[in-house]
Amino acid sequence: MPFVVKWRNPATNKLDLWIGIHVPADLAVGISKLKGTAAVASEEALKYVIYLPGRNTFRWIDIKSLYPLSEYSPEEYEQAGREYAGVYKRLHLTAQQTDDIRFWSRIAKKERNHKDRNDRVPSIDFAPAEASAQESEAGIELEDDGEDMSEAEGDLEGVASVYSGQVDSIKRPHREGSVSTPHKKAKTGASVGQHRHQQQPDSEEVVDIYIGNGTNQKVFHLTRNKIMKSTFLNDCVQGKPPYIMHPYLQQMTPAEFKPVHALLSGDAGLDSDLVSVCGDGGDNDERKEIIGDVNKVGKNWMLKDIHSIEDLKALILGLESTYAQAFLFGLAEMADNVLTKVQVAWNLYGRVEHLSLFLNFIENVMPNIIPQVSARGGAPDAYHGGQSSYGLGTKHSWIIKYLAETFVLYTTEDPQRFWCLVDKYPSLRAAIFKHRAALDDAKLLVLENEFRQREPLAEASFATPVTMEGSVEQEATTKEEGAEQMADAGTE
pLDDT at 269: 62
Last residue of a domain, one of 178, 197, 218: 178
Instruction: Give the mean model confidence (pLDDT) for residues 417-439.
Output: 91
State the sign of the Cα–Cα–Cα–Cα dihedral 132, 135, 139, 141.
negative
Could you please report the per-residue DSSP string of 214-254?
GGG-EEEEEEHHHHTT-HHHHHH-BTTTTEE--HHHHHS-H
Q: Is the pLDDT of residue 173 over 80?
A: no
For the entire predicted model, the pTM comes to 0.54
Say whether both 237 and 357 belong to one domain. Answer: no
Instruction: Give the mean model confidence (pLDDT) for residues 412-427.
Output: 92
Higher pLDDT: 96 or 331? It is 331
Distances (CA, A) of 301 to 30, 97, 211, 357: 58, 37, 34, 20
State the Cα torsion 141-146-150-155 to the nearest 10°.
Answer: 120
Residue 196 within any structural domain of the chain = no
Last residue of a domain, one of 251, 284, 310: 251
- Average per-residue pLDDT for the chain: 70
Instruction: Give the mean model confidence (pLDDT) for residues 455-476.
Output: 63
Say whether both 388 and 434 belong to one domain. Answer: yes
pLDDT at 378: 36
Say whether both 17 and 72 belong to one domain. Answer: yes
pLDDT band for 56, please (50, 70, 90 cuts): confident
* Containing structural domain, residue 279: 269-462
- Phi/psi of residue 200, nearest 5 degrees: -105, 110
Closest CA to 201 of 225, 181, 232: 225
Distances (CA, A) of 243 to 56, 138, 258: 34, 29, 17
Q: Which amino acid is at 491?
A: T
Rounded CA-CA distance 220/207 in Å is 8
Label each residue of 57-83 as H, E or C. Answer: EEEEEEHHHEEECCCCCHHHHCCCCCC
Say whether both 295 and 438 belong to one domain. Answer: yes
Structural domain count, the chain: 3
Say whether both 225 and 278 belong to one domain. Answer: no
pLDDT band for 45, please (50, 70, 90 cuts): low
- Phi/psi of residue 54, nearest 5 degrees: -65, -25
Say whether both 18 and 113 belong to one domain. Answer: yes
